[in-house]
Amino acid sequence: MMYAIAALCDWFGAKRVAMRLFATAPRSDYAAWWGAVGLMQTGRDEEALGLLTRVRAIHPGWKRTKRLLATLYLRRDPEQAVQLYSPPMGIWEEVFLGDLLYFFLHREDEGAHWWRQAYARVDWKSARELDNPARLLLKRLCRITNDPVLLERFAELDTDNFRQQHIVDYVDILASRGELDKAREMLDRGFYLYRGDPMLTARWERLGFGRLPSYKVKTSGTAAIRHNVYTGLLTEVSDLSSIVDRVHQEHPTGVVTIASSVMTMCEGTLMWIGTFKPSRLARFLGPRTGHGGGKFVHWYSYPMEAAWKVQAYIELAGTFRVLLGAGATVLGKLLHRKGWFYTVVGPVAKAVDSDKVMPYDACLVPGPLDVETSIRHLERTGARVSVVDVNDVFGAEIVASTEGVDKDWLRRSLEDNPAGNDDSMTPIVVVMPE
């Protein structure tokens, strides 16, 4: 009965109630995962560990709870996380094991071994599907080998996952073969994503492509002083509270801004591809959402991810709200209005994205599940904190802030996206009045 009530609450989007009930009736991988996530969100990691350990003993084949258990092991004894996946069962577990060894235990040679093992098992016929780790393995192997053959194969699958250095390296390959039109298109795509980037600009000018693409480079709307904080790779084992405290001590008058995706990574509430599948409803609605289905303005490739994103919306907002959102979308099209779907499903679902920073490029990353609670926790450091969602194309959105922050001033101060969520590893920006 408890499980049935939890499932009904989940269907209607009463997520907090559903999580509490799932924690007492973890009768499926989905229920156990969300029950444990609910416990973690309220600071009860020990109870979450007990729950996950019990269901692991009874249901060793449950994949979602296994990866969440690995997160809790990483925070205590990383070697236990490695043992959890030894030996790996299937290609995705080989990827996970390689990532654990390479990024967390810093045993790079062992991690690379498992990536190569997984690469040898790739089904290339379905390589563009999101649940095929081909593009992830190519990205990792490119990192450790700089092999141009692997880079070209990576480009065939997912140039949308390229960083600036990937773009420049691939452009050089195209230019060396005389494929200047493709090289120009690749740089054009790069400028759309990374507007005004000096590395891309230098390559454009060196190749003599003339006038730069006319994509508008956003600029800060205030005279605020911004300081990018180098954090290194922030992960599910990072103590965000201590990092914010340190930054606040160094810049006591500033507002500490944190990318919403980074907060989710540190909280560990990530939706790992390879541990779940889209439902039939998600597969039906996915192609109708417009993800990856728009006009080809640029020459690029990307994985087929629409159904997976809709599945994330269903889990985060509830099936009922997603259906309402779909209905609102239809009505909005008749009235020539946009954005009604996300207005209905809410900001947590709106923030869902696939990250590009390894090892979290193997996830869907929602917004923080309880951002107000997370903000209150960070506020104890005495800092003024804002969780933000910013990109080069659409500008800045303030997701949540501590009391006293001028949100409009802060939004305008971040319009040009000064943070570096990629290899520069500066996802925290302190914003101070002039």
DSSP secondary structure letters along 69-116? HHHHHHHH-HHHHHHHTSS--SHHHHHHHHHIIIIIS--HHHHHHHHH
Largest CA distance in the chain: 69
Can you tell me the mean pLDDT for 355-380?
86
CA distances from 205 to 163, 195, 198, 200, 211 (A): 19, 15, 10, 9, 9
Q: What is the tens place of the pLDDT at every residue in 347-358?
A: 777 778 777 789
pTM exceeds 0.75: yes
pLDDT tens profile 226-258: 888 998 889 999 999 999 999 999 999 999 999
Closest CA to 273 of 242, 311, 238, 236: 311
| Residue 381, CA distances (Å) to 227, 237, 245 in order | 19, 19, 5
Overall average pLDDT of the 93-103 stretch: 98
Sign of CA dihedral 284, 285, 288, 293: negative
* Cβ proximity of 277 and 314 under 8 Å: no
The domain made up of 225-269+368-432 has a fold known as 60s Ribosomal Protein L30; Chain: A; (3.30.1330)
CATH superfamily, domain at 2-125: Tetratricopeptide repeat domain (1.25.40.10)
CB atoms < 10 A from the CB of 95, how many? 26
Q: How many CA atoms, within 13 angstroms, populate the side-chain half-sphere of residue 222?
A: 19
Which pLDDT band holds residue 289 (cuts at 50, 70, 90)? low
CA distance linking residue 48 with residue 69, whole number of Å: 9
Residue 56 has which token pair?
């692991």
- CA dist., res. 56 & res. 49, Å (int): 10
pLDDT at res. 164: 86
- What average pLDDT is seen over the chain? 88
Q: What integer pLDDT is reported at residue 296 of this predicted model?
A: 38
Q: Which residue has the tokens 């990374």?
A: 194
Residue 94 has pLDDT above 90, yes or no: yes
Q: How confident is the model at residue 427 (pLDDT cuts 50, 70, 90)?
A: confident
pLDDT for res 294? 39
